[in-house]
Chain A
Amino acid sequence: MILARVIGTVVSSQKTPEMGGVKLLLLEKVHPETLEGKNDFVVAMDSVGAGTGELVLYVSGSGARMAENTKGLPTDATVTAIVDLIEKKGTVTYQKNN
């Protein structure tokens, strides 16, 4: 799974019917320590209700089709987790403030 931040949403009205109504998120991969964006973006389906600005994990490849709401859908990137905390070498580098 890859660490990324939800940068925004992607709207597409004209798409293959199989894509269904699943929300599309714009993600930017981030460095786990600095949490800086890597200028490396991907559009992913949302399976956990992630909001803009949140740090998430996304699954790529066929694993993306295994989440509850993406079974059998033509997706190769799905957000499958909202990150609460990252600990690296003993220091907490990220903590979600909710």
Chain B
Amino acid sequence: MILGIVEGTVVSDQNSFDIPGGRYLLINKCNQAGKLKNEFLVALDLVSAGKDEMVMIAESTSARETPTTKNKAVDAVIVGIIDKIDENDKVVYTK
């Protein structure tokens, strides 16, 4: 999974995701300490992530391994909101 910060939302009425009520968030990729990479992607939100939260995203075929996204044209889903990350016994991120 990759890490990213929720920076916004993307709305699309005309799409072929075929996911009623799908909420798509604008994610800025970041490292484990939350340092932004300024590389963006759009991911389907499965965990009701909020603005500025650090999230974990599953990409490519694994993105379709959920009931909501089975056989859907989706390649990035938010699978978790990060509470804490520690690196070499040092906490580098907390929510």
Contact = CB atoms under 8 A, between A and B. Distances in A.
A86 B76 contact: no
B41 A2 contact: yes
Interface string A81-94: 11111111110010
A88 B8 contact: yes
A61 interface: yes
Nearest to A50: B14
B8 A81 contact: no
A interface bracket (residues with beta carbon within 8 Å of B):
20 to 34
Given A47-B16, A80-B17, A59 B74 contact: yes
Interface in B30-47: 40-43
B88 interface: no
B42 A66 contact: no
Chain B interface size, under 10 / 10 to 19 / 20 to 34 / 35 or more:
20 to 34
A37 interface: no
Interface string A1-22: 1110000000000000000000
Contacts of A1: 24, 41-43, 74-76
Contact of A3 (B40, B63, B75): B40
Given A59-B74, A59-B75, A61-B75, A32 B12 contact: no
A84 B11 CA distance: 6
B26 A66 contact: no
Interface of B: 7-18, 24, 26, 40-43, 51, 59-61, 63-64, 71-76
Interface of A: 1-3, 31-32, 47-49, 57, 59-64, 66-68, 70, 78, 80-90, 93
Given A48-B15, A64-B73, 5 more contacts: A3-B42, A32-B7, A63-B72, A85-B10, A90-B51
